[in-house]
């Protein structure tokens, strides 16, 4: 799942459950009934383990375990993580399993006693890269609070029909060749607008910004855990280029995961979108009638990552043993491959990337684009990014700040406001 903000993919259907509903569905003493049946609750943001036709991996697990019933609760990205922290602090109300986004996981590492330690649960951590496991581990490496689900990878999804109308190439290799850098991408946007003034080049400045920094090792924090966002030139350059594109009129100014954003996909209001793997599922679910009009090209710079999540088991639950078994099953390679083929969530286990089901996978919706090759290639040379406790919050702050620029706020004022908000969130304000 997404990303810092996506979530990650809220993807196929981002109807947020209210906090009251989520609280009612949290884990509690009623988890196991007198007949030996166990109800496991799973709190997620966006699409995690559900398929487009309303089936889910849960159905298969329930068939294999006739004493298990699984209930999933969905919320939007921010509400989900806020509720989780509140329930951990209160010591009750968390679900049996909770998904945490990659940009948020470091904020929970300092609370290892509130989660089951997967190091003690016979988990083969070698199936993931060392850095992926490290992000969900305590500094000493003795505690692993979550199992990786998916990983992002980066590409550009584009509308072939809109490219053709603007006189641009439409074949994915030719399109990829248009932009070796993000500066090239903005320059091509100028060409596009000159021929198609009624259609915007991209959906939102925040997504361009996220794509640019997706190929940077150090963004908001350094390796020592210090907040370096304000003095990091790479972040400022990403901001300045995003603002430049906005001021050129390239942005549709559609806040991500909003109803207006969904409409933008459906009505072809923009020609390109920064596209982590999970975005494929979001587009398919929200703009089904655009099948065959999309294709996937390489990301400017050739590599990068945006997104990924971890599945955790809060220790406060009444059914932690059963929850651990479900978590291990949901994050196994077999299930991750199924989800990739169904909703685009790219498997985090590197061993799956060479499996024919993944490596040879093409997406019919996206003009038979070889998604099983595009996203691993993007990840192959991507740096291991450094995350800090508030990385997810900071990403959201930049998205909001750039959206304010799109609405007319002076860019320097928006930057200054963002810095103040970021410092306050990090306890430095």
Beta-bridged to residue 270, according to DSSP, are: 200
Instruction: Quote the mean pLDDT of the chain.
Output: 89
Residues of the chain with CATH 3.40.190.10: 10-150+307-344, 154-306+381-425
Q: What's residue 344's pLDDT? A: 84
Strands 308-312 and 97-101: antiparallel
* CATH no. for 154-306+381-425: 3.40.190.10
Residues, the chain? 429
Asked whether the beta carbons of 352 and 388 are under 8 A apart, the reply is no
Per-residue pLDDT tens digits for 249-294: 999 999 888 899 999 999 999 999 999 998 998 899 899 999 999 9
- What's the CATH superfamily of 10-150+307-344? Periplasmic binding protein-like II (3.40.190.10)
pLDDT, average across residues 302-321: 94
Report the C-alpha gap between 166 and 180 in whole angstroms: 20
**Quick check: 4 pLDDT over 70?**
no
Asked whether the beta carbons of 130 and 239 are under 8 A apart, the reply is no
Provide the Cα torsion 390, 396, 397, 401; round to 10°: 160
Q: What's residue 13's pLDDT? A: 33
Q: Does the pTM exceed 0.75? A: yes
Strand-by-strand arrangement of the 146-151 sheet: 68-75, 38-45, 97-101, 308-312, 146-151, 346-347
Beta-bridged to residue 147, according to DSSP, are: 311
pLDDT, average across residues 378-382: 88
């Amino acid at each position: 799942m997404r990303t810092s903000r996506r979530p990650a993919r809220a993807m196929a259907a981002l109807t947020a459950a209210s906090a009251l509903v989520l609280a009612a569905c949290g884990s509690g003493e009623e988890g196991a009934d007198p007949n030996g049946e166990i109800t496991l609750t799973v709190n997620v943001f966006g699409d995690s383990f559900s398929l487009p036709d309303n089936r889910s991996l849960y159905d298969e697990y329930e068939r294999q375990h006739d004493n298990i019933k699984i209930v999933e609760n969905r919320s939007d990205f921010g509400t989900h993580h806020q509720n989780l922290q509140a329930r951990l602090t209160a010591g009750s109300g968390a679900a049996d399993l909770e998904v945490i986004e990659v940009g948020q996981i470091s904020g929970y590492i300092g609370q290892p006693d509130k989660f089951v330690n997967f190091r003690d649960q016979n988990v083969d951590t070698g199936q993931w890269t060392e850095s992926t496991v490290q992000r969900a581990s305590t500094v000493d490496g003795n505690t692993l609070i979550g199992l990786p689900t998916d990983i992002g990878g980066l590409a550009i999804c584009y509308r072939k029909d809109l490219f053709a109308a603007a006189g641009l190439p439409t074949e994915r290799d030719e399109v990829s060749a248009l932009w070796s850098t993000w500066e090239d991408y903005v320059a091509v946007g100028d060409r596009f607008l000159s021929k198609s003034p009624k259609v915007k080049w991209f959906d939102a400045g925040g997504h361009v910004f996220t794509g640019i920094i997706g190929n940077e090792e150090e963004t908001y924090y350094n390796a020592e855990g210090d907040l370096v966002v304000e003095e990091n030139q790479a972040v400022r350059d990403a901001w300045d280029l995003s603002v430049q594109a906005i001021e050129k009129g390239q942005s549709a100014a559609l806040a991500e995961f909003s109803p207006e954003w969904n409409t933008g996909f459906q009505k072809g209001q923009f020609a390109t979108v920064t596209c982590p793997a999970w975005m494929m599922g979001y587009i398919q679910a929200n703009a089904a009638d655009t099948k065959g009009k999309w294709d996937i090209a390489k990301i400017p710079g050739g590599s990068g990552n945006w997104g990924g999540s971890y599945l955790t088991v809060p220790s406060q639950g009444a059914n932690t043993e059963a929850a651990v078994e479900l978590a291990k099953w949901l994050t196994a390679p077999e299930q991750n491959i199924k989800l990739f083929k169904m909703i685009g969530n790219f498997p985090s286990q590197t061993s799956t990337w060479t499996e024919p089901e993944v490596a040879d996978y093409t997406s019919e919706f996206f003009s038979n684009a070889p998604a099983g090759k595009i996203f691993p290639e993007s990840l192959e040379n991507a740096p291991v990014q450094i995350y800090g406790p508030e990385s997810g919050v900071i990403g959201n702050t930049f998205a909001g700040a750039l959206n304010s620029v799109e609405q007319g706020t002076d860019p320097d004022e928006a930057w200054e406001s963002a810095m103040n908000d970021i410092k306050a969130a990090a306890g430095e304000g």
